[in-house]
Amino acid sequence: MTEFDFIRRYLQRQQPDRDVVLGIGDDAAIVRPRAGTDWCFSSDMLLAGRHFFADVAPADLAHKVLAVNLSDMAAMGAAPRWVLLSAALPQLDEAWLQAFCDSLFALAAQFGVTLIGGDTTRGDYVFSVTIAGELPQGMALRRDAAQLGDDIWVSGRLGLAAAALNRHWQTVQLPQEVFAQCERARLRPQPRVALGRALLPFAHAAQDVSDGLAQDIGHILKASGVGAELWVDALPSLPDLRACLPLERWREFVLAGGDDYELVFTAAPADRARVLAVAEQSATAVTRVGRINNTSGLRMVAADGGEIILTSLGFDHFG
Ligand code: ADP
Ligand code: MG
Protein backbone atom coordinates (compact mmCIF):
# COMPACT_ATOMS: atom_id res chain seq x y z
CA MET A 1 0.00 0.00 0.00
CA THR A 2 1.31 3.46 -0.88
CA GLU A 3 0.87 6.69 1.02
CA PHE A 4 -1.72 7.74 -1.55
CA ASP A 5 -3.70 4.50 -1.18
CA PHE A 6 -3.73 5.16 2.54
CA ILE A 7 -5.08 8.67 2.09
CA ARG A 8 -7.68 7.61 -0.46
CA ARG A 9 -8.87 4.41 1.21
CA TYR A 10 -8.62 5.24 4.88
CA LEU A 11 -8.78 8.99 5.26
CA GLN A 12 -11.06 10.30 2.52
CA ARG A 13 -14.33 9.39 4.18
CA GLN A 14 -17.64 11.13 3.86
CA GLN A 15 -17.96 13.55 6.76
CA PRO A 16 -21.03 15.77 6.77
CA ASP A 17 -19.84 19.35 7.35
CA ARG A 18 -21.38 22.25 5.46
CA ASP A 19 -18.61 24.62 6.49
CA VAL A 20 -15.88 22.60 4.81
CA VAL A 21 -15.46 24.03 1.31
CA LEU A 22 -12.62 21.66 0.41
CA GLY A 23 -11.50 18.68 2.46
CA ILE A 24 -8.80 16.02 2.12
CA GLY A 25 -7.28 15.61 -1.34
CA ASP A 26 -5.99 18.99 -2.44
CA ASP A 27 -2.88 20.89 -1.39
CA ALA A 28 -4.77 22.47 1.46
CA ALA A 29 -8.23 22.43 2.99
CA ILE A 30 -10.69 25.34 2.98
CA VAL A 31 -13.27 26.05 5.65
CA ARG A 32 -15.73 28.91 5.79
CA PRO A 33 -15.97 30.89 9.04
CA ARG A 34 -19.38 31.69 10.44
CA ALA A 35 -20.27 35.25 11.32
CA GLY A 36 -19.76 36.24 14.94
CA THR A 37 -17.19 33.60 15.77
CA ASP A 38 -13.61 33.65 16.94
CA TRP A 39 -11.41 30.71 15.97
CA CYS A 40 -9.41 28.90 18.52
CA PHE A 41 -6.39 26.72 17.62
CA SER A 42 -4.36 24.15 19.45
CA SER A 43 -1.92 21.41 18.63
CA ASP A 44 -0.69 18.42 20.58
CA MET A 45 1.97 15.90 19.71
CA LEU A 46 2.22 12.31 20.93
CA LEU A 47 5.41 10.24 20.73
CA ALA A 48 5.81 6.51 21.16
CA GLY A 49 7.64 5.70 24.36
CA ARG A 50 6.89 9.11 25.80
CA HIS A 51 3.12 9.52 25.54
CA PHE A 52 2.11 5.96 24.74
CA PHE A 53 3.58 2.46 24.74
CA ALA A 54 4.74 1.42 21.28
CA ASP A 55 2.53 -1.69 21.38
CA VAL A 56 -0.66 0.22 22.26
CA ALA A 57 -3.82 -0.98 20.48
CA PRO A 58 -4.36 1.28 17.44
CA ALA A 59 -7.97 2.03 18.44
CA ASP A 60 -6.84 3.27 21.87
CA LEU A 61 -4.05 5.29 20.33
CA ALA A 62 -6.35 7.03 17.86
CA HIS A 63 -8.77 7.86 20.64
CA LYS A 64 -6.05 9.46 22.71
CA VAL A 65 -4.47 11.36 19.85
CA LEU A 66 -7.76 13.12 19.17
CA ALA A 67 -9.14 13.24 22.72
CA VAL A 68 -6.21 15.24 24.11
CA ASN A 69 -6.83 17.88 21.46
CA LEU A 70 -10.57 17.94 22.07
CA SER A 71 -9.72 18.46 25.73
CA ASP A 72 -7.86 21.67 24.85
CA MET A 73 -10.97 22.96 23.09
CA ALA A 74 -13.07 21.99 26.12
CA ALA A 75 -10.72 23.98 28.34
CA MET A 76 -11.33 27.10 26.25
CA GLY A 77 -15.10 26.57 26.18
CA ALA A 78 -14.85 26.18 22.40
CA ALA A 79 -16.82 24.02 20.00
CA PRO A 80 -14.25 21.79 18.27
CA ARG A 81 -14.71 21.83 14.50
CA TRP A 82 -11.74 20.79 12.35
CA VAL A 83 -8.64 18.67 12.80
CA LEU A 84 -5.45 18.05 10.85
CA LEU A 85 -3.53 14.87 11.59
CA SER A 86 0.17 14.52 10.91
CA ALA A 87 1.46 11.01 11.37
CA ALA A 88 4.83 9.32 11.16
CA LEU A 89 4.32 5.57 10.76
CA PRO A 90 7.02 2.88 10.50
CA GLN A 91 4.92 0.96 7.98
CA LEU A 92 1.43 1.01 6.44
CA ASP A 93 -0.16 -2.03 8.06
CA GLU A 94 -3.74 -2.40 6.81
CA ALA A 95 -5.30 -3.98 9.90
CA TRP A 96 -3.56 -1.46 12.15
CA LEU A 97 -4.64 1.50 10.00
CA GLN A 98 -8.20 0.22 9.76
CA ALA A 99 -8.54 -0.01 13.53
CA PHE A 100 -6.81 3.35 14.02
CA CYS A 101 -8.96 5.18 11.50
CA ASP A 102 -12.25 3.57 12.60
CA SER A 103 -11.60 4.72 16.15
CA LEU A 104 -10.45 8.17 15.04
CA PHE A 105 -13.51 8.79 12.86
CA ALA A 106 -15.84 7.41 15.55
CA LEU A 107 -14.57 9.91 18.11
CA ALA A 108 -14.57 12.69 15.52
CA ALA A 109 -18.21 11.96 14.69
CA GLN A 110 -19.13 11.83 18.36
CA PHE A 111 -17.79 15.37 18.84
CA GLY A 112 -18.84 16.75 15.46
CA VAL A 113 -15.32 17.43 14.22
CA THR A 114 -14.12 16.91 10.66
CA LEU A 115 -10.70 15.64 9.60
CA ILE A 116 -9.74 18.10 6.86
CA GLY A 117 -6.11 17.22 6.22
CA GLY A 118 -2.71 16.37 7.53
CA ASP A 119 0.52 14.77 6.49
CA THR A 120 1.89 11.24 6.42
CA THR A 121 5.50 10.21 6.48
CA ARG A 122 7.56 7.13 7.29
CA GLY A 123 9.25 7.08 10.66
CA ASP A 124 8.94 6.00 14.27
CA TYR A 125 5.42 6.58 15.56
CA VAL A 126 4.67 10.28 16.03
CA PHE A 127 1.22 11.85 15.90
CA SER A 128 0.48 15.52 15.83
CA VAL A 129 -3.06 16.81 15.70
CA THR A 130 -3.93 20.43 15.07
CA ILE A 131 -7.44 21.33 16.06
CA ALA A 132 -9.55 24.39 15.35
CA GLY A 133 -12.67 25.33 17.24
CA GLU A 134 -15.24 28.09 17.34
CA LEU A 135 -16.06 30.51 20.11
CA PRO A 136 -18.66 33.24 20.27
CA GLN A 137 -16.69 36.42 19.52
CA GLY A 138 -14.75 37.79 22.50
CA MET A 139 -15.57 34.86 24.76
CA ALA A 140 -13.28 32.13 26.06
CA LEU A 141 -12.37 30.39 29.29
CA ARG A 142 -8.89 31.83 29.69
CA ARG A 143 -6.24 31.05 32.26
CA ASP A 144 -5.89 34.70 33.24
CA ALA A 145 -9.49 35.23 34.31
CA ALA A 146 -9.66 33.83 37.88
CA GLN A 147 -11.07 36.32 40.40
CA LEU A 148 -10.59 36.72 44.14
CA GLY A 149 -13.09 34.64 46.06
CA ASP A 150 -13.80 32.28 43.16
CA ASP A 151 -14.54 28.65 43.89
CA ILE A 152 -12.20 26.14 42.25
CA TRP A 153 -13.92 23.16 40.66
CA VAL A 154 -12.68 19.98 39.06
CA SER A 155 -14.58 17.70 36.69
CA GLY A 156 -14.63 13.91 36.78
CA ARG A 157 -12.00 11.96 38.70
CA LEU A 158 -8.26 12.48 39.09
CA GLY A 159 -5.28 10.20 39.48
CA LEU A 160 -6.58 7.13 37.68
CA ALA A 161 -4.35 7.38 34.63
CA ALA A 162 -1.30 7.96 36.81
CA ALA A 163 -2.15 4.95 38.95
CA ALA A 164 -2.47 2.75 35.86
CA LEU A 165 0.80 4.05 34.44
CA ASN A 166 2.61 3.36 37.71
CA ARG A 167 1.12 -0.11 37.74
CA HIS A 168 2.67 -0.66 34.28
CA TRP A 169 5.99 0.56 35.63
CA GLN A 170 5.48 -1.76 38.62
CA THR A 171 5.90 1.07 41.06
CA VAL A 172 2.49 0.41 42.58
CA GLN A 173 0.27 -2.62 43.12
CA LEU A 174 -3.44 -2.46 42.34
CA PRO A 175 -6.22 -5.01 42.61
CA GLN A 176 -7.20 -6.22 39.14
CA GLU A 177 -10.62 -4.51 39.23
CA VAL A 178 -9.13 -1.16 40.22
CA PHE A 179 -6.40 -1.44 37.63
CA ALA A 180 -8.99 -2.15 34.92
CA GLN A 181 -10.88 1.06 35.72
CA CYS A 182 -7.71 3.12 35.93
CA GLU A 183 -6.40 1.66 32.69
CA ARG A 184 -9.63 2.56 30.95
CA ALA A 185 -9.26 6.16 32.16
CA ARG A 186 -5.66 6.21 30.93
CA LEU A 187 -6.45 4.83 27.50
CA ARG A 188 -9.81 6.49 26.83
CA PRO A 189 -9.92 9.97 28.35
CA GLN A 190 -13.31 11.64 27.86
CA PRO A 191 -12.88 15.24 26.72
CA ARG A 192 -15.20 17.54 28.70
CA VAL A 193 -16.36 19.52 25.69
CA ALA A 194 -20.04 19.75 26.70
CA LEU A 195 -19.11 20.98 30.17
CA GLY A 196 -16.64 23.56 28.84
CA ARG A 197 -19.18 24.99 26.44
CA ALA A 198 -21.87 25.09 29.11
CA LEU A 199 -19.53 26.93 31.50
CA LEU A 200 -18.53 29.50 28.90
CA PRO A 201 -21.22 32.10 29.69
CA PHE A 202 -20.37 32.47 33.37
CA ALA A 203 -17.25 30.60 34.53
CA HIS A 204 -14.05 32.63 34.90
CA ALA A 205 -10.77 30.76 34.32
CA ALA A 206 -10.34 27.21 33.08
CA GLN A 207 -7.77 24.77 31.82
CA ASP A 208 -7.54 21.07 31.26
CA VAL A 209 -5.59 18.90 33.67
CA SER A 210 -2.93 17.14 31.65
CA ASP A 211 0.26 17.57 33.70
CA GLY A 212 -1.09 17.09 37.20
CA LEU A 213 -3.60 19.28 38.99
CA ALA A 214 -1.16 21.13 41.26
CA GLN A 215 0.98 22.28 38.36
CA ASP A 216 -1.98 23.06 36.12
CA ILE A 217 -3.80 25.16 38.74
CA GLY A 218 -0.48 26.96 39.11
CA HIS A 219 -0.79 28.18 35.53
CA ILE A 220 -4.17 29.76 36.29
CA LEU A 221 -2.84 31.38 39.47
CA LYS A 222 0.20 32.81 37.74
CA ALA A 223 -1.74 34.09 34.72
CA SER A 224 -4.43 35.61 36.94
CA GLY A 225 -2.06 37.04 39.57
CA VAL A 226 -3.84 35.33 42.46
CA GLY A 227 -3.25 32.55 45.00
CA ALA A 228 -5.42 29.64 46.10
CA GLU A 229 -6.19 27.06 48.71
CA LEU A 230 -6.76 23.50 47.50
CA TRP A 231 -8.52 20.90 49.66
CA VAL A 232 -6.43 17.93 48.64
CA ASP A 233 -8.29 15.20 50.48
CA ALA A 234 -11.56 16.36 48.91
CA LEU A 235 -10.25 15.82 45.38
CA PRO A 236 -12.46 13.47 43.34
CA SER A 237 -11.00 10.08 42.56
CA LEU A 238 -11.97 6.44 42.47
CA PRO A 239 -12.95 5.40 46.03
CA ASP A 240 -11.49 1.92 45.51
CA LEU A 241 -8.24 3.43 44.30
CA ARG A 242 -7.96 5.66 47.31
CA ALA A 243 -8.77 2.72 49.60
CA CYS A 244 -6.01 0.53 48.20
CA LEU A 245 -3.17 3.07 48.21
CA PRO A 246 -1.11 4.64 50.98
CA LEU A 247 -2.42 8.20 51.43
CA GLU A 248 0.83 9.78 50.26
CA ARG A 249 0.75 7.80 47.05
CA TRP A 250 -2.88 8.66 46.39
CA ARG A 251 -2.13 12.35 46.89
CA GLU A 252 0.79 12.09 44.52
CA PHE A 253 -1.43 10.62 41.81
CA VAL A 254 -4.28 13.11 42.14
CA LEU A 255 -2.01 16.15 42.50
CA ALA A 256 0.84 15.36 40.17
CA GLY A 257 -0.21 12.38 38.12
CA GLY A 258 -1.01 13.81 34.73
CA ASP A 259 -3.04 12.51 31.82
CA ASP A 260 -6.34 13.19 33.60
CA TYR A 261 -7.87 15.39 30.87
CA GLU A 262 -10.40 16.77 33.31
CA LEU A 263 -11.24 20.47 33.57
CA VAL A 264 -10.21 22.68 36.45
CA PHE A 265 -12.14 25.94 36.45
CA THR A 266 -13.12 28.84 38.66
CA ALA A 267 -16.48 30.52 39.11
CA ALA A 268 -18.07 32.95 41.54
CA PRO A 269 -19.62 31.41 44.67
CA ALA A 270 -22.92 33.01 43.59
CA ASP A 271 -22.87 30.66 40.59
CA ARG A 272 -22.58 27.39 42.53
CA ALA A 273 -26.07 26.22 41.65
CA ARG A 274 -25.45 27.14 38.04
CA VAL A 275 -22.23 25.12 37.93
CA LEU A 276 -24.03 22.09 39.34
CA ALA A 277 -26.90 22.53 36.87
CA VAL A 278 -24.69 22.67 33.77
CA ALA A 279 -22.62 19.77 35.09
CA GLU A 280 -25.74 17.69 35.33
CA GLN A 281 -26.89 18.77 31.87
CA SER A 282 -23.55 17.73 30.43
CA ALA A 283 -23.55 14.47 32.42
CA THR A 284 -20.19 15.32 34.03
CA ALA A 285 -19.57 15.21 37.75
CA VAL A 286 -17.95 18.30 39.27
CA THR A 287 -16.44 18.78 42.71
CA ARG A 288 -15.65 22.00 44.54
CA VAL A 289 -12.04 21.65 45.66
CA GLY A 290 -10.75 25.05 46.73
CA ARG A 291 -10.88 28.79 46.61
CA ILE A 292 -9.01 31.63 44.93
CA ASN A 293 -7.45 34.11 47.39
CA ASN A 294 -4.99 36.96 47.50
CA THR A 295 -1.98 34.96 48.74
CA SER A 296 0.77 33.97 46.36
CA GLY A 297 0.85 30.47 44.98
CA LEU A 298 -1.04 27.33 45.84
CA ARG A 299 -1.56 26.18 49.42
CA MET A 300 -2.50 22.51 49.52
CA VAL A 301 -4.43 21.58 52.63
CA ALA A 302 -5.08 18.11 54.07
CA ALA A 303 -8.34 17.06 55.70
CA ASP A 304 -6.81 17.68 59.15
CA GLY A 305 -5.91 21.24 58.20
CA GLY A 306 -2.19 20.52 57.78
CA GLU A 307 -0.34 21.81 54.79
CA ILE A 308 0.92 19.45 52.10
CA ILE A 309 4.21 20.51 50.55
CA LEU A 310 5.09 19.46 47.06
CA THR A 311 8.76 18.55 46.79
CA SER A 312 10.71 17.22 43.85
CA LEU A 313 10.74 13.84 45.56
CA GLY A 314 7.01 13.64 46.13
CA PHE A 315 4.93 15.06 48.93
CA ASP A 316 5.63 15.85 52.53
CA HIS A 317 2.76 16.18 54.88
CA PHE A 318 3.32 18.63 57.71
CA GLY A 319 0.29 17.99 59.87
P1 ADP B 1 1.34 17.35 0.11
O2 ADP B 1 2.13 16.76 -1.01
O3 ADP B 1 0.87 18.74 -0.12
O4 ADP B 1 1.98 17.13 1.46
P5 ADP B 1 -0.11 14.99 0.48
O6 ADP B 1 0.02 14.18 -0.76
O7 ADP B 1 0.77 14.69 1.64
O8 ADP B 1 -0.02 16.52 0.13
O9 ADP B 1 -1.60 14.90 1.01
C10 ADP B 1 -2.68 14.79 0.13
C11 ADP B 1 -3.93 15.08 0.86
O12 ADP B 1 -4.09 14.14 1.92
C13 ADP B 1 -3.94 16.46 1.52
O14 ADP B 1 -5.25 16.96 1.45
C15 ADP B 1 -3.55 16.17 2.95
O16 ADP B 1 -4.07 17.15 3.81
C17 ADP B 1 -4.18 14.80 3.16
N18 ADP B 1 -3.47 14.00 4.17
C19 ADP B 1 -2.25 13.46 4.09
N20 ADP B 1 -1.94 12.79 5.21
C21 ADP B 1 -2.98 12.91 6.03
C22 ADP B 1 -3.29 12.46 7.33
N23 ADP B 1 -2.41 11.74 8.07
N24 ADP B 1 -4.49 12.78 7.87
C25 ADP B 1 -5.36 13.51 7.16
N26 ADP B 1 -5.15 13.96 5.92
C27 ADP B 1 -3.98 13.68 5.35
MG1 MG C 1 2.34 15.45 2.53
Helices (H), the chain: 3-6, 58-76, 94-111, 160-168, 176-187, 193-199, 213-224, 239-244, 247-256, 272-281
Q: In the prediction, which pLDDT does 311 show?
A: 66
Predicted TM-score (pTM) of the model is 0.94
Residues flanking ion ligand 2, Cβ below 5 Å:
119
Q: What is the pLDDT of residue 309?
A: 84
60 annotated as ligand-binding: no
Task: List all residues 6 or more positions away from 8 whose beta carbon is below 8 Å from its beta carbon.
Answer: none
In 3D space, the residue among 150, 286, 305, 275 whose CA is nearest the CA of residue 225 turns out to be 150
pLDDT tens digits for range 75-134: 999 999 999 999 999 999 999 999 999 999 999 999 999 999 999 999 999 999 999 999
Using the predicted structure, report yes or no on whether residue 51 has a pLDDT greater than 50. yes
Query: Ligand 1 mean position to 60 CA, how many Å?
Result: 23
Which ligand 1 atom lies nearest to the CA of residue 87?
Answer: 23
Residue 19 CA to ligand 2 center (angstroms) comes to 23
Which of 104, 119, 130 is the pocket-test mutation for ligand 1 (most atoms within 8 Å of CB)? 119
240 known ligand binder: no
Greatest alpha-carbon span in the chain: 63
**How many helices (H) and strands (E) in the chain?**
10, 14
The rounded percent of the chain whose pLDDT value lies above 70 is 97
Q: What is the mean pLDDT of the chain?
A: 94
Which ligand places an atom closest to the C-alpha of 84? 1
208 marked among binding-site residues: yes
| pLDDT at 154 (0 to 100) | 98
Q: Is residue 48 within 8 Å of 238, Cβ to Cβ?
A: no
| Model confidence pLDDT, tens digit, residues 256-299 | 988 999 999 999 999 999 999 999 999 999 999 999 999 999 99
Does 118 carry a binding-site annotation? yes
Q: Which ligand 1 atom is at minimum distance from the Cα of 23?
A: 14
Asked if residue 43 belongs to a known ligand binding site, the reply is yes
Ligand with minimal distance to 100 CA: 1
pLDDT (average), residues 226-251: 96
Residue (of 26, 77, 79) closest to 278 by Cα position: 77
Alpha carbon of 64 to ligand 1 centroid (Å):
21
Measure CA 19 to chain center: 26
Ligand 1: lining residues by beta carbon, under 6 Å = 7, 11, 24-27, 85, 87, 115, 117-120
Question: What is the DSSP track for 144-201?
Answer: GG--TT-EEEEES--SHHHHHHHHHTTSS---HHHHHHHHHHHHS----HHHHHHHTT
Ligand at minimal distance from the CA of 86 is 1
**Residue of the nearest CA to atom 8 in ligand 1?**
27
